[in-house]
Amino acid sequence: MASGNPSPNGAPNKDQGGTVKQIALAFELPFILVGPVVMGGVLGFFLDRWLHTKPLLLIVLGILGVIVGVRDAVKSAAVHDKKP
């Protein structure tokens, strides 16, 4: 017996990829959140070493990375939430 409620033509209803999209988003979000923080931190670390301003740029660019990461994660989740 087929799983799911049959459609009028007798074929089982499909999720239309909704579950797969949710799994893809779940795997994508950690990279969206962590990537900018790591990039800002690394860039700040090397700029601090070059300009001798330890740890000012590391902190500033790390915080900027957190802001960008959260903004991109919220934007990505909103886009995936709007799609049918």
- Residue range 44-66: average pLDDT? 96
DSSP E strand stretches across the chain = none
Q: How many whole angstroms separate alpha carbon 36 and alpha carbon 4?
A: 42
Determine whether 28 is exposed, middle or buried from the number of CB atoms within 10 Å of its CB (0-12, 13-18, 19+): middle
Does residue 52 sit in helix, strand or coil?
A: coil
pLDDT confidence of 8, banded at 50, 70, 90? low
For the four alpha carbons of 80, 27, 41 and 59, in that order, the dihedral sign comes to positive
- Whole-model pTM above 0.85? no
pLDDT band at 1 (very low <50, low <70, confident <90, very high): very low
pLDDT at 32 (0 to 100) = 94
